[in-house]
Amino acid sequence: MNKSRIIVSLDFSDPDLAYRHLQRLHPDHCRVKVGKELFTSSGPAFIRKLIKDGYDVFLDLKFHDIPNTVAKACQAAAALGVWMLNVHVAGGREMLRYARDAIDKAPHRPLLIGVTVLTSMSSQDLKETGIQSGTEKQVLRLTRLCREAGLDGVVCSAQEVSVVRREFGKDFCLVTPGIRPAGSAADDQKRTMTPAEAIAAGSDYLVIGRPIIQAPDPLQVLLAIEREIGTVQGKPVPVRPAGGVRQDP
Ligand code: C5P
């Protein structure tokens, strides 16, 4: 079973290019994330191809719609065989419960993760949407809702990960983007953490794109990150096996 905590973000619009980059990685050393750009251009066939090649796929489509529509979308994603998928917590308790039920009824059960506040949103942006309490409070409020609805975890920024971990305990999956191995370019990420710092702060899975994909030898970067986080005392990675109940290996 793949125990990698590294999720490589395949941020491409061209599936052939994405696939060429993928061939420089290895499914024993990472999982992969497919978002709206690549999924819109390449569709379910590409996801099946990744899975056939042995990759665990995080389908990052951030579903947000009426409960029935989100439930059906989750069902379709589970049927594709993805390992993880996500929904916007802002869709509300009923939408989250429908998503949970849909996944629980599926023969293959991906991890169901909530997106709280997009890290592109400032407190001022939130105010303009009617939320006065600031980003951290809103993240914690939505994470609580997520937990109550039985989701498996949340996506959270490196800055939030320790407070979320403290508040919601160890049996909750935290997926963290904005990670930069020491010495690599920040690109457009503003507040980053190294892989070791993020794991030490309580993250389960690190979403990393450009520092791996754009490296001359991506596999070497993966192995170096594995060595770096292998030295950090972290809890075992929560895994939901196909058709089974979530457990710690
Ligand atoms: O190349 P880089 O490591 O910055 O890619 C990070 C990935 O994580 C991208 O797909 C980006 O859209 C995603 N992401 C992020 N910050 C968030 C949520 C998702 O960077 N808060």
159 lines ligand 1 (CB under 6 A): no
- CATH number of the domain residue 142 falls in: 3.20.20.70
Which tens digit of pLDDT belongs to each residue from 187-231?
888 778 999 999 999 999 999 999 999 999 999 999 999 999 986
Q: Check residue 175 and give its pLDDT.
A: 98
What dihedral do alpha carbons 143, 229, 11, 91 form, nearest 10°?
Answer: -10
Q: Check residue 103 and give its pLDDT.
A: 98
Residue 160 pLDDT exceeds 50? yes
Q: Are strands 153-155 and 6-9 parallel, antiparallel or unpaired?
A: unpaired
Q: Which residues are catalytic?
A: 62
Residues 6+ apart with CB under 8 A from 100: 112, 149, 150, 151
Residue 152 pLDDT exceeds 50? yes
Q: What is the mean pLDDT of residues 17-33?
A: 96
Q: Is residue 241 part of a domain?
A: no
Q: Is residue 129 part of a domain?
A: yes
Show the domain range for 66: 6-230
Which tens digit of pLDDT belongs to each residue from 137-149?
999 999 999 999 9
Residue 203: closest CA among 240, 156, 248, 241: 156
Question: How many distinct structural domains can be found in the chain?
Answer: 1
Choose the residue to mutate in 191, 207, 213, 221 for probing ligand 1, maximizing ligand atoms within 8 Å of C-beta.
207
Q: Check residue 241 and give its pLDDT.
A: 37
Helix ranges restricted to H, 129-213: 135-148, 161-168, 195-201, 210-213
